[in-house]
Every structure is written in C-alpha cells, then in structure tokens.
Amino acid sequence: MEGDVAGSSRGNGADSSARFRNSEELQDWMNEEGDGSADMSASDVDMLKRAWRNEKAAPEVLPFQTLLVERVREQILLMEDNLVAFSGEISEELMLSLYRMDLDRTLFLLRAYLRTRLNKIEKFALHVLKAQELWDRLSEQEQDYAQRFTDSLHKHFQQTVLGKLPYGYQSIMKQATSSEEDDMIPEPNLDTFVFCRSKRAIGAFQLDEKGDETVDLMADDLYILRYRPIKDLLDNDRIELV
C-alpha cells in the first residue's frame, strides 16, 4: 500500500518535472526562434509572406512553418469570430468591410502558401517519399496528402501503362529493373538560380566547393545565385528569396 503511494507520488513528480522541462524547452525554442528571425518586429503576416515567397522561389520543398501557420490560423479564426459577433453591433459599415478585407488578404496569403507547397509536393511526391529528411519537412496533413497522391498515381500508372509493359519495365521508380538507381523520379534541380536578398550584410560568401568563387553579400542588395550553396543561409533565415 505504502509502496503504491510512494510509487504514484514519484510518478507524479517525474511527470510534472518532465512537463516542466518540456515547457522550458519550448520557451527556449521560442526565444531562439524569435532571435533567429530577421527582425523581431515582423508580424506573423509578414513572416508568412516571407515564407510564401521563399517557398515559391525555392526549387525544393522547404520545412513547413508549423508554429507560424498555427498562429496565423488562430488569428484568422479569432477575426472571423469577432466579425460574426460584431456584425450586428458595429454600425460602421465601413470598418466592417475593412476588417473583412484584412481577413481576406490573410486567408489568401495562407492559401497561397499552402497551395504552393502542395504544388511542389505533387511534383516531387515520389522524391519526397523516398528521403526521411524531406519527409520530415511536411506537415502531418501534407504527409497524408503526399501518401495518398502517390498511391493514386501508382494505381493509375499501373492500370493504364505499366501493367501492360513487359516484365522488368513495370516499376514506377525505374526505367527497367536493370537500372541501378531509381531513375524515373522527378527531382528538384538544386543547381537552379534564385533571386535573393539579405537583410544584413553577410560578407564574403563561398559559392562552390573549391572556394574559387566568392561573392560579397551586402545588405539589401539583390543577387542571383545558385540555390545549392545558399541553401544553408536560407535555412537559417539569413537571406530571403524574392
């Protein structure tokens, strides 16, 4: 009996401390996120706009902005509720229509962001499915979508073409079973060129593996650079794509 009580209390203690640690971590993480972003004053809408632009300009699927999307979604819901609640109250027709415009713009932005991602996910579904690192960049819903999309694609190809081909040529991944690699999967071209801009001066930056090519990245200037070498700068939010 006593043992039970002790056991359960210890359990509780561990539980709460674990929860505490988690919330602390969360706090740290959120702080870090705040520091990492280009400027602290940027609103969620600004950040979503940047995420959309980056997503649109980058050849590959970028990590999903889970927290940001959640925050924007919450704000949208809140605003929708407010508008419903106020629609009888605000005698000012004008204010109401302005609020609605703001809401519509935010909705558009969120949809544009999500659609740009879906577009890319559809394009590179097989590729994304293959690599864990890329898979982890998708949100849960996107993973679900990518999975179902590939399943349908697979079924469709199987029924229309692949099933009627001779044995050895029926894979959706390979040209033939003799291919060593999966050579029928569309991949993003990471050696494409992108337009980018940095908020702060970054200084001399190396553009190729050998270090022959460097570029002096100045604040607010626009550059066209190869995507692969600047990928890390983008991940760290030190540059933005336009």
Partner 1 sequence: MASQDNQLLSLFSAAEVEFLAEDELINIVPSVRMDTLHMICGDYGPFRPQIPAQVPLWLGVALKKRGKCRIQPPDWMTVEKLTQVLEDEREAPREFQPLPFHYVEISRLLFDHSQDDISDFYLIRSLVEDVRDVRFHKVEKGLETLSGRTHAVKLKNLSAMEVNLIRPFIVKALESFYKHDSEDLVKQVDSERDSQLAAADRLPRRTLRPR
Interface ranges with partner 1 (CB under 8 A): 43-45, 49, 53, 56-59, 72, 75-76, 79, 92, 94-95, 97-99, 101-103, 105-106, 108, 112, 119-120, 123, 183, 187, 189, 191-195, 207-208, 213, 215, 221-226, 242
Cα–Cα distance between 46 and 23 in angstroms, integer?
A: 27
Least Å distance between CB 178 and partner 1?
A: 12
Q: Which is nearer to partner 1, 2 or 181 (CB)?
A: 181
Least Å distance between CB 9 and partner 1?
A: 46
Q: Which is nearer to partner 1, 187 or 237 (CB)?
A: 187
Q: Which is nearer to partner 1, 64 or 106 (CB)?
A: 106
Please, what sign has the CA dihedral across residues 130, 134, 135, 141?
negative
Q: Which is nearer to partner 1, 20 or 108 (CB)?
A: 108
For the chain, the distance separating the N- and C-terminal CA atoms, rounded to the nearest angstrom, is: 67
Cα–Cα distance between 66 and 76 in angstroms, integer?
A: 15
Least Å distance between CB 201 and partner 1?
A: 13
Least Å distance between CB 7 and partner 1?
A: 49
- Cβ–Cβ under 8 Å, residues 47 and 67: no
Length reported for the chain: 242
Cα–Cα distance between 195 and 212 in angstroms, integer?
A: 21
**CA atoms within 13 Å, Cβ hemisphere of 90:** 15
Q: Which is nearer to partner 1, 29 or 193 (CB)?
A: 193
